[in-house]
């Protein structure tokens, strides 16, 4: 109890000293009066104890007055109290008193000790008073700062609770320390309940979003996430959550502050827009497919239009050819013993049939949709072979000229597609010159500089030029002339696809097309095609090679549904020394293959019976890998022709001669 009493008394004295040090003095004379007053009080106490002290000055009992004055009013009061006590003490005992005044050594020592201790007390008490004042100022600043913080926090809470978005704040370990009313209302945080990430994550199944937030916390980087929430009352909702790390003045990480925004409406609008885009994409795809079909139909119609223009001339040519064939055969039948005449008439009939074959292939290329294949071609020969057809197309009133390059014009193109492109150019030139004019076809070698021809690299090219002296074109028309469906002809006179087909043919063949025209002077269109390399030229010049002799005794299975063609083929094959068996369709051929062994299969492509020649060839390749296969057809159609493009077997186009048959079969030997 004694220790506790001493502690209580010490606390009481400390509180009293603190209160005393907080006394405010504004003027110096007030401090002086306080010092004199406290010293006077001390002297009164000293005088009252005169019997106790006797002739001693009693300076030590006066020191509390100095302490009180220094604490209450600072250094001025303390020093004034010290001086008042000093002079008052001397006045009480007298200056000549032994051991107390200034007349002997003991009195001087006592006086000096009092002054030194007093000054020390003044310094310490004054410093204590200053510190207490400064502490009070700091405490006042702290109180004002705390008030401002409380006011700012109140404002923040008011603003946060008034916001329509969900605002949240975490500490440095990721635990929630603040959420606003919108957050509490959405995630159903009860009043007085501390918000907790784990409860929210488990309740609303937000593991993936929370994992992304934890990764952002580890990296101290911005957090952004859009996630779906299945709300028990509001139903499916979408929230976009964004948060940023926050740091204190010392750049220490304090946690995250962020907000959740309900983006359900915009998300639904986005999904609706996506559905609309998908629907539009589907309809655009359908429209493009319809457009492609329309283009294909128009291309076919354009080819048929060209064929229509040629119908009269082609019919005339075929009638002439048939006259030669029929007349020659009739004479041969009536002159069985005249070998020379039969030889001459047979050669004339064969030549007429070859011309008919050429016309047939040209018509197929112009009017059909068959797949076309590039091969080494001398354009000079190709143009010469097409010359009768081209002259028929331009008519007798138009002057038609050919200027073909010496030494040939060898390229690697699809012959039929080239003939179709050339016919398109000639027909357009014929329409430009009208009833009278001049059309010139020319082949030449053209060096091309970089940038000289659009879409064409620099180099040497083979050029085919079709020029006329017709009405010509304006620059605006020339800028659109290669565009699909663009035409300057009257309605019903053209599809607008002819020159676009020509341009497409040139680009697909590795070249380009160029047009030059002057109004009133005519038009020239050039096709630039890459020349053949030397190896291809040598190989092409060496073809056709002589037929290799057939090995005697080899067996061949002929599959042909046309009886007349089969009869001729049997004679030709027998003449080559082959043992031949025939079938009318694929199923019959399969039955023969089960019973007999054959070395070679020669099959038509399109046949009745539900099996094409290509399907039969695949079956033979699987079940009879040692058997050689040759396919033949006059015109197979789009689907089968597309399959032929990837077929590994040689293909012989109808009509074929004995020499061609011998050559392709000899190559298989």
Predicted pLDDT at 245 = 92
Predicted pLDDT at 542 = 44
Radius of gyration of the chain from its Cα atoms, rounded to whole angstroms: 59
Predicted pLDDT at 370 = 44
Nearest to 89 by CA among 122, 51, 42, 121: 42
Q: Which one-letter DSSP state was computed for residue 533?
A: P
Distance, CA of 502 to CA of 507 (rounded, Å): 9
Q: Which residue has the tokens 């390059």?
A: 405
Q: What is the pLDDT of residues 349-380, one digit of tens each?
A: 676 676 666 556 555 544 444 445 678 889 88
* Residues counted in the chain: 669
β-strands 176-179, 166-170 pairing: antiparallel
Q: What is the pLDDT of residues 543-582, one digit of tens each?
A: 444 555 666 678 999 999 888 888 888 888 888 888 999 9
Predicted pLDDT at 533 = 72
For the structural domain made of 376-382+395-539, what CATH number should be given? 3.30.565.10
Q: Where in the chain is the domain with CATH 3.30.565.10?
A: 376-382+395-539
Inter-residue contact 575 to 658 (CB < 8 Å): yes
Q: Where in the chain is the domain with CATH 3.40.50.2300?
A: 544-668
Inter-residue contact 260 to 183 (CB < 8 Å): yes
Predicted pLDDT at 14 = 45
Residues in the chain with pLDDT values less than 70? 1-28, 46-61, 89-110, 152, 295-325, 327-332, 334-335, 341-342, 344-345, 347-349, 351-352, 354-373, 480-498, 500, 534-552, 635-645, 667-669
The superfamily in CATH containing domain 164-262 is PAS domain (3.30.450.20)
Distance, CA of 503 to CA of 489 (rounded, Å): 19
Ranges of H-type helices in 376-497: 379-394, 415-433, 475-480
Q: Where in the chain is the domain with CATH 3.30.450.20?
A: 164-262
Does domain 544-668 fall under CATH 3.40.50.300? My reply is: no
């Amino acid at each position: 109890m004694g220790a506790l009493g001493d502690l209580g008394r010490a606390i009481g004295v400390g509180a009293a000293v603190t209160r005393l040090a907080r006394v405010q003095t504004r003027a110096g004379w007030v401090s002086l009066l306080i010092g004199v007053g406290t010293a006077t009080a001390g002297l009164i106490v000293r005088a009252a104890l005169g019997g106790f002290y006797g002739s001693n000055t009693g300076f030590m009992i006066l020191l509390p007055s100095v302490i009180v004055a220094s604490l209450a009013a600072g250094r001025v009061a303390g020093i004034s109290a010290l001086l008042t006590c000093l002079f008052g003490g001397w006045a009480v005992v007298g200056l000549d008193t032994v051991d107390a005044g200034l007349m002997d050594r003991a009195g001087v020592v006592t006086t000096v000790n009092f002054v030194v201790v007093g000054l020390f007390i003044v310094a310490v008490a004054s410093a204590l008073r200053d510190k207490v004042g400064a502490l009070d100022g700091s405490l006042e600043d702290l109180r004002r700062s705390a008030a401002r913080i409380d006011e700012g926090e109140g404002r923040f809470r008011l603003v946060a609770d008034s916001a329509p978005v969900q605002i949240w704040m975490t500490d440095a370990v990721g635990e929630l320390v603040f959420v606003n009313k919108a957050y509490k209302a959405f995630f159903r945080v009860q009043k007085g309940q501390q918000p907790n990430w784990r409860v929210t994550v488990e309740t609303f199944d937000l593991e993936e979003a929370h994992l992304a937030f934890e990764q952002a916390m580890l990296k101290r980087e911005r957090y952004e996430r859009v996630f779906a929430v299945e709300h028990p009352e509001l139903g499916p909702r979408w929230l976009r959550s964004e948060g940023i790390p926050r740091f204190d003045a010392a750049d220490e990480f304090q946690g995250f502050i962020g907000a959740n925004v309900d983006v359900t409406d915009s998300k639904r609008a986005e999904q609706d827009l996506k559905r609309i885009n998908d629907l539009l994409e589907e309809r655009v795809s359908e429209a493009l497919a319809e457009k492609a079909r329309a283009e294909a139909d128009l291309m076919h119609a354009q080819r048929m239009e060209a064929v229509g223009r040629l119908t009269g001339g082609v019919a005339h040519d075929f009638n002439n050819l048939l006259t030669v064939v029929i007349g020659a055969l009739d004479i041969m039948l009536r002159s069985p013993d005249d070998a020379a005449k039969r030889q001459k008439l047979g050669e004339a009939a064969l030549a007429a049939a070859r011309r008919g074959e050429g016309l047939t292939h040209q018509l197929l290329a112009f009017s059909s949709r068959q797949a076309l294949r590039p091969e080494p071609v001398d354009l000079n020969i190709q143009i010469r072979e097409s010359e009768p057809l081209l002259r028929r197309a331009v008519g007798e009133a138009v002057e038609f000229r050919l200027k073909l390059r010496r030494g040939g014009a060898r390229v690697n193109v699809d012959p039929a597609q080239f003939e179709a492109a050339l016919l398109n150019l000639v027909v357009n030139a014929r329409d430009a010159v009208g009833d009278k004019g001049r059309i010139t076809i020319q082949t030449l070698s053209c060096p091309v500089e970089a940038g000289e021809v659009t879409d064409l690299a620099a180099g040497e090219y083979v050029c085919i030029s079709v020029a006329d002296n017709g009405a010509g074109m304006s620059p605006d028309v020339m800028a659109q002339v290669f565009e699909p469906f663009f035409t300057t002809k009257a309605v019903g006179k053209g599809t607008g696809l002819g020159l676009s087909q020509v341009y497409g043919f040139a680009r697909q063949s590795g070249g380009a097309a160029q047009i030059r025209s002057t109004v009133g002077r005519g038009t020239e269109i050039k096709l630039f095609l890459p020349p053949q390399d030397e190896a291809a030229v040598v190989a092409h010049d060496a073809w056709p090679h002589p037929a290799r002799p057939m090995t005697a005794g080899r067996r061949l299975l002929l599959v042909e549904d046309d009886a007349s063609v089969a009869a001729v083929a049997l004679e030709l094959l027998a003449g080559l020394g082959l043992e031949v068996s025939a079938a009318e369709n694929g199923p019959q051929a399969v039955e023969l293959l089960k019973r007999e062994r054959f070395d070679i299969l020669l099959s038509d492509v399109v046949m009745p019976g539900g099996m094409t020649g290509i399907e039969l060839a695949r079956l033979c390749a699987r079940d009879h890998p040692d058997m050689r296969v040759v396919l033949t057809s006059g015109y197979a159609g789009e689907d089968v022709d597309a399959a032929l493009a990837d077929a590994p077997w040689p293909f012989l186009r109808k009509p074929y001669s004995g020499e061609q048959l011998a050559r392709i079969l000899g190559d298989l030997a």
